[in-house]
Structure formats: structure tokens, C-alpha cells
Amino acid sequence: MLRLYNTLSKTKEEFKPIDPGKVGMYNCGPTVYDYAHIGNLNAFLVADILRRQLEYNGYEVRQIMNITDVGHLTADDVNQADTGEDKMLKAVKRENKTPADIADFYTEKFFEDLKKLNIKKAAYYPRATAHIPQMIKIISGLIERGLAYEINGNVFYDIAKFSGYGKLSGKKIEDLKVGARLEEHPDKKNPWDFALWLKAPKEHILKWKSPWSLGYPGWHIECSAMSMEYLGETLDIHTGGEDHIFPHHENEIAQSEGFTGKKFSNYWLHNRFLLIDGAKMSKSKGNFYALKDIEEKGYIPMTFRLLILGSHYRSNLNFTENGIEQAKNNFKKISDWINNLENISQNIENPLPAEIDFSYIYLKRFEEAMNDDLNTPLALSVLYELITETNKLLTENKLGEKNAKNILVFWKKINKVFGLIIEKNITEIPAEISALAKERKIIRENKDFKKSDELREKIEKRGYTVEDLKNNNYLIKKL
Ligand SMILES: [Zn+2]
């Protein structure tokens, strides 16, 4: 039974889909005027792990992620995504390209990042600019229902008219007056109303015809339009970063529920921010990382995936040099373990049988951890415990081919959720090396350790080594 923390109810709830066996999930996707930063990638990885766990539990998941190719962002701080100047237009000036070229280029880069991180492909990645008619339909509906108003070609949502406003974030309209980052516009009746459609100034490149003006949509409306277009009026799960709870997701609820009169999403999952050395990531602070920056530092993308798995999605992951170095070591530990297991069958003779079928017990603990609101750090610790136990059995010469195979079956099962790509390092041991190792074993049985050391040297000169196990057994490894 999968339990998920629902931001809407602020409790862990048992997950129940609308249609038995099927899940419709929407994830707020990237803006494509620049490279995705590792905070965005964290959110996409969390969505991927959630999808994989749902599939592990037997659900068929239809995942939709939008591509925001009409700009809406202003501040350099990635956590302020609601007001001001259009970042796409900024990129147009910076790179001297058309908005479509910029969107295509960074969408391509985004897909490359997903591939490198082994993030499963969503069923569909709808683009905002291809769904303007759907947005116009919802805006018209909201005006008809008296929830939105038009002034001078601009349309705003009258949030005081929507009684459920604030149910996700816990914010009250009264609180919004003070300190909230509210979008300013002279045509707004109330400062806390938000834009659904804006009349385009002359110099604005991206603009579309609408019943109100030649203009462009507000940011929030795209997610209501595209999620309902591909998943129906009520979603099972909607995810995003915690910065989206307010105003973005609160506004999505107001738009969608105001339009359909139905509940918009049954479960809302939000990941906490990723911090860099304890601080929020921002371009102005110079601590803004894309995946390529991490790769340039010499870390493979799988190291970053493992780093994310090592922290619970509802706690702030602090990205540090030490942390990624630790993840690198852990990744090597897992890779060595897998490769050892794969090599065991061909290189170990007559092992003593291990007495426990530990993979079953570990599997149960893994499942319990993951089904408890995706507790990935606990699930990983189960894996690390198994690695320690396996390595101990190996040196005691208790790990035979059958055990190794059982553990590999266990690994393949849990790795469907972890999604780690391990480079296979299976070594076909050359006959010459096998013969030398066998010769050395006989020499060791006769306790001629000087000769045995010479043979080890000979083996190592050829790029292999032998690890001595109990009862004079051994494991050959590539150096
Ligand atoms: Zn969204």
C-alpha cells in the first residue's frame, strides 16, 4: 500500500487512483529559455521516482509534463517565478535568436539531461504555445461564470469570487495584502487578482488573437489547460517544486475548479528546494548549476541521481562538494558490488552455502520504505546493508552462484525504482589467468607463500588480481 504526503490535506494518505490500476499524473515542467538547473532536475527526478514506484506497484501511469515556451519569469532567483519581465524575451535579446529557436534549443538540452539521468519519458510533453485555444476556452468560461473580468483587453481572475482560494497553500486573501510578491497592473480590481490574458505591448514578439486583445496568456493558465486536455478534468496526482504551491498551484486550482466545478487533483506532491552550500540557488550569487556544470567537475550524471535518491524529497537537499563526492563513492560501491556478483558464478569454486535467503527479507524492507511516502534514503540504506552483508559472505566463501543470482534478481527489481545505470564490467577471465590462479591455489595449499606471492605479481602484471577467500577459495578481478 502506497502512502503519499498530500500537500492539500497536509497528511500522509493512502494512494487510491480514480480508475483502478491507472494513474494520471501531471508534472510542472521546464521553462525553455535557458539550461535546466539542478533544482529543476531534482523536481523531475522526484517525479520520475514517484512514477517508477507507482509502476512497481502495478499501476499503469500516464505522465504528462508541460514545456513552458512562452515566457513568464523575471527575477534571477529561481524561487521567484511569478512576476515581471518576460525571460524568454530576455533570452531572445541575449542570444539574438527567435523565441522558437531558443525554445527548440533548450527543449533539446532538457531532453538530453533527462536521458543522461535515466528519467523515463512522459507520455507527452505538450508545449504552451501549441495550446492557446484551450487556454482561451477556459478563460472565456471563467468570465461567463463571473470568476474573471476583462478590462482594456486584459483578463484577470477575481480570486475573492472563488471560495476555495488558499486551500492548498493555507494562505488567506487578507494575508496576501502584506508582503506577498504581487504582480502589479493598473487594470486589476484587487492587487491579489492574477492575470489570465494580457494585451501585448507593441514590441512583444509572442502574441495571439483572442476575444479580448492581441495578447498572450498568463503563466498559470497553461498548466490548467494542458493537464485537463491530456488527463481529464480530475487528475490523480499533480507534482512540482515547493515554490509552486503558491501562487502557481493555488491559481491552477482556482482556474480548473472554477471552470469545471470538479476537484482538480486528488493528490499534490511537492519537493523541497535543493540548496547549494546551505543557500538558495541564484544566478546573481553565482551558485547556479546545470547538469553540464556537474559533469565538467568530473561527476557522471548517475552520481547526481544517486545524490537525489539519498535525500528524502520532502527535506531540503544541501548540495555540497562533500555530498557529491560521497555519492560518487557510494555509486562505485554499488557498481563494484554488481560486478562482483556477476563475476562470482564463473570464478568461485565450491562455496559453502549461505544459510539465509536474505534477498526476500531485504525486498520487503525496501518496499515498505518506498511505499512510505517514497523514503528513498531508507530504501538505499537497506541496499547498503545488503552490500555489506554480501561482501562479508563473499570473503567467508559462503556466497555461491545461486546466491549471487538471487541477489541480482533482487537488485534488478529494486533498480526499476532507483533507475541507476551501472556500467557492466564483466570480465571474461583469460584462460592463462585462470590457470595461474589455480596454480597459485595449489601452492598456497602447500603453504609456499613466497611462490604464491610471485604468482600474484605475475597475475597483476597482466592486469588482474586475486582476492583470497576462506578455505583457499579465491575471486579473480580485473585491476
Ligand atoms: Zn505548472
Closest by CA position to 414, among listed 359, 337, 456: 359
Task: State the distance from the centre of ligand 1 to the C-alpha of 310, rounded, in angstroms.
Answer: 26
Question: Does one domain contain both 256 and 404?
Answer: no
Question: Does one domain contain both 214 and 68?
Answer: yes
Work out the pLDDT band at 205, boundaries 50, 70, 90: confident
Question: Does one domain contain both 121 and 214?
Answer: yes
Among 370, 392, 418, which residue terminates a domain? Answer: 418
Residue 424 has pLDDT above 90, yes or no: no
Task: State the distance from the centre of ligand 1 to the C-alpha of 22, rounded, in angstroms.
Answer: 22
What are the grid coordinates assigned to 190, written together? 484587487
Residue 73 has pLDDT above 70, yes or no: no
Task: State the distance from the centre of ligand 1 to the C-alpha of 25, rounded, in angstroms.
Answer: 12
Question: Does one domain contain both 253 and 371?
Answer: no
Contact assessment for residue 49 and residue 371, using Cβ atoms and an 8 Å cutoff: no
Task: State the distance from the centre of ligand 1 to the C-alpha of 339, rounded, in angstroms.
Answer: 41
Question: Does one domain contain both 91 and 233?
Answer: yes
Task: State the distance from the centre of ligand 1 to the C-alpha of 238, rounded, in angstroms.
Answer: 9
Task: State the distance from the centre of ligand 1 to the C-alpha of 64, rounded, in angstroms.
Answer: 11
Residue 115 has pLDDT above 80, yes or no: yes
Host domain of residue 407? 328-418
Task: State the distance from the centre of ligand 1 to the C-alpha of 223, rounded, in angstroms.
Answer: 5
Question: Does one domain contain both 54 and 107?
Answer: yes
Element (H, E) at 267: strand 265-271
Task: State the distance from the centre of ligand 1 to the C-alpha of 206, rounded, in angstroms.
Answer: 19
Question: Does one domain contain both 207 and 340?
Answer: no
Question: Does one domain contain both 352 and 450?
Answer: no
Task: State the distance from the centre of ligand 1 to the C-alpha of 171, rounded, in angstroms.
Answer: 19
Question: Does one domain contain both 413 and 443?
Answer: no
Tell me, what CATH number does 76's domain have? 3.40.50.620
Tell me the whole-structure pTM to 2 decimals.
Answer: 0.90
Task: State the distance from the centre of ligand 1 to the C-alpha of 228, rounded, in angstroms.
Answer: 12
Overall domain count for the chain: 3
Residues 6+ apart with CB under 8 A from 454: none
Question: Does one domain contain both 29 and 67?
Answer: yes
- Residue 2 within a domain: no
Task: State the distance from the centre of ligand 1 to the C-alpha of 352, rounded, in angstroms.
Answer: 57
- Residue 304 within a domain: no
Question: Does one domain contain both 348 and 403?
Answer: yes
Task: State the distance from the centre of ligand 1 to the C-alpha of 272, rounded, in angstroms.
Answer: 16
- Residue 169 within a domain: yes
- Residue 320 within a domain: no
Task: State the distance from the centre of ligand 1 to the C-alpha of 78, rounded, in angstroms.
Answer: 14
Question: Does one domain contain both 407 and 450?
Answer: no
- Residue 242 within a domain: yes
- Residue 155 within a domain: no
Task: State the distance from the centre of ligand 1 to the C-alpha of 227, rounded, in angstroms.
Answer: 9
Q: What is the pLDDT of residue 471?
A: 76
Could you count the other beta carbons within 10 Å of the beta carbon of residue 356? 11
Q: What is the pLDDT of residue 79?
A: 34
Q: What is the mean pLDDT of residues 87-105?
A: 84
Sequence-distant contacts of 408-413: CB under 8 A, at least 24 apart = 408/338, 408/341, 408/342, 409/359, 410/359, 410/362, 410/363, 410/386, 411/338, 411/341, 413/363
Among 271, 298, 314, which residue terminates a domain? Answer: 271
Task: State the distance from the centre of ligand 1 to the C-alpha of 120, rounded, in angstroms.
Answer: 19
pLDDT, one tens digit per residue, over 296-331 is 999 999 999 999 999 999 999 999 999 999 999 999
